């Protein structure tokens, strides 16, 4: 069986920077795999933490699934509803290779940091989005989690 290590001793995704807005399971699992491949993943959480973290008991800082899916990632708290939040994200995007989010369709646009804005800042950015029912069509606004589909 071939090794995932290259002849240089580096993982195949070493040098890539990923901004991770993934929540619950689907998004964090995708970026978990990127981190395992060597990408530098920056987990971005809202004030108070993402929903899977908040399901822990008050004396705990995170649930086991949260800890498992977010290993090998750096983390920051960023309030995109604060005046400076979008500005800080745009600074991160300038140096990023990938941004992943799994919010409801249109959420990033409503926050002023949708694809068109991010693409202007970094034309090589790969923007990945995961939704329950896609970004267009009759069911696009129906909310869903990975476990319900």
Residues β-bridged to residue 42? 19, 74
Query: Residue 119: its pLDDT value, please?
Result: 98
Q: What is the pLDDT of residues 27-64, one digit of tens each?
A: 999 999 999 999 999 999 999 888 888 776 767 777 88
User: For residue 65, with 0-12 CB atoms within 10 Å meaning exposed, 13-18 middle and 19 or more buried, which class applies?
Assistant: middle
Read off the pLDDT band of 147 (50, 70, 90): low
Does the global pTM surpass 0.85?
A: yes
Read off the pLDDT band of 3 (50, 70, 90): low
Q: Give the residue among 99, 100, 102 at the shortest CA–CA distance from 131.
A: 102
Residues β-bridged to residue 45? 77
- Asked if 23 and 51 touch (Cβ cutoff 8 Å), the reply is yes
The structural domains of the chain, ordered by start, are 17-130 (3.40.50.10540)
Per the structure block, which two tokens stand in for 6? 């290259």
Q: Is the pLDDT of residue 2 over 60?
A: no
Give the contacts of 61 (CB within 8 A, at least 6 positions apart).
Answer: 53
Distance CA 29, CA 72 (A): 12
Q: What is the pLDDT of residues 90-146, one digit of tens each?
A: 999 999 999 999 998 999 999 999 999 999 999 999 999 988 777 888 987 877 766
């Amino acid at each position: 069986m071939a090794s995932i290590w290259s002849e240089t001793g580096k993982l195949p995704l070493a040098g890539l920077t990923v901004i991770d807005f993934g929540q619950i399971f689907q998004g964090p699992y995708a970026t978990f795999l990127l981190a395992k491949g060597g990408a530098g993943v920056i987990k971005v959480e809202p004030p108070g933490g993402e929903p899977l973290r908040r399901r822990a008991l008050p004396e705990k800082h995170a649930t086991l699934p949260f800890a498992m899916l977010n290993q090998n990632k750096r983390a920051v708290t960023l309030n995109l509803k604060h005046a400076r939040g979008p500005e800080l994200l745009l600074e991160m995007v300038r140096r990023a290779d990938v941004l992943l989010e799994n919010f409801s369709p249109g959420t990033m646009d409503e926050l002023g940091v949708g694809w068109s804005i991010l693409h202007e800042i970094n034309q090589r950015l790969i923007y990945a989005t995961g939704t329950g029912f896609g970004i267009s069509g009759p069911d696009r606004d129906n909310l869903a989690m990975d476990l319900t589909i």
